[in-house]
Amino acid sequence: MTKTEINVDDIVSSILRTGVIVSALIVAAGGIWYLAQHGAQLPAYARFASEPSDLLSPRETLREAEHFDSQAIIMAGLLVLIATPILRVAFLVFGFALEKDWTFVGVAALVLSVLLFSIGH
């Protein structure tokens, strides 16, 4: 019987830590720029307007971020954050498959499909 060299716990831990750090750095960088541009304006959060309307999907956000729009950069950082637990579940599908634990491959795949449905919907 071959024992796998991969330590699932350590990789899960690294995925989570890396995701949070990368996301926080992008959000902070975008945030500083956002405040430099718009800091003197008045905040408008008292009434819900579902804005900015061009940042409602991951694809549009990334397109805007390519043009270095500060709000889109913050949003891209937030997308990295949202992707982090999803990536963790995707990795566990793989991790359970290595252990040939097919029941849990199914469980993890089910959770992954719920997450992808929500993001893609």
Partner 1 sequence: MTLLTFTLIVGAASLLAGLLGALTGLGGGVVIVPVLAIAMHVDLRYAMGASLVSVIATSSGAAAAYVREGFSNIRIGMFLEVATTLGAVLGAYLTSHMPKPAIGVIFGVVLLYSAWASMRGHKPGSQDAPSDPWAQKLRLEGDLPTPAGPRHYHVYHLGFGFSLMGVAGILSGLLGIGSGALKVLAMDRVMKIPFKVSSTTSNFMIGVTAAASAGLYLHRGYIDPGLAMPVMLGVLAGSLAGARILVKARVRTLRIVFSFVIAALGVQMIYEGLTGRL
Three-state DSSP state, 8: helix
Check: CB of residue 27 under 8 Å from CB of residue 78. Answer: yes
Q: Is 65 an interacting residue with respect to partner 1 (CB under 8 A)?
A: no
Near partner 1 in 35-64, by CB under 8 A? 35, 38-43, 45-53, 55-58
Of 28, 68, 98, 102, the one binding partner 1 (CB under 8 A) is 28
Of 6, 20, 66, 98, the one binding partner 1 (CB under 8 A) is 20
The string of DSSP codes covering 33-82 is HHHHHHTTS----SS-----GGGSSHHHHHHHHHTT-HHHHHHHHHHHHH
Element (H, E) at 4: none
Interaction site with partner 1 (CB under 8 A): 8-10, 12-14, 16-17, 19-20, 23-24, 27-28, 30-31, 34-35, 38-43, 45-53, 55-58, 71-72, 74-75, 78, 81-82, 84-86, 88-89, 92, 103-104, 107-108, 110-111, 114-115, 117-121
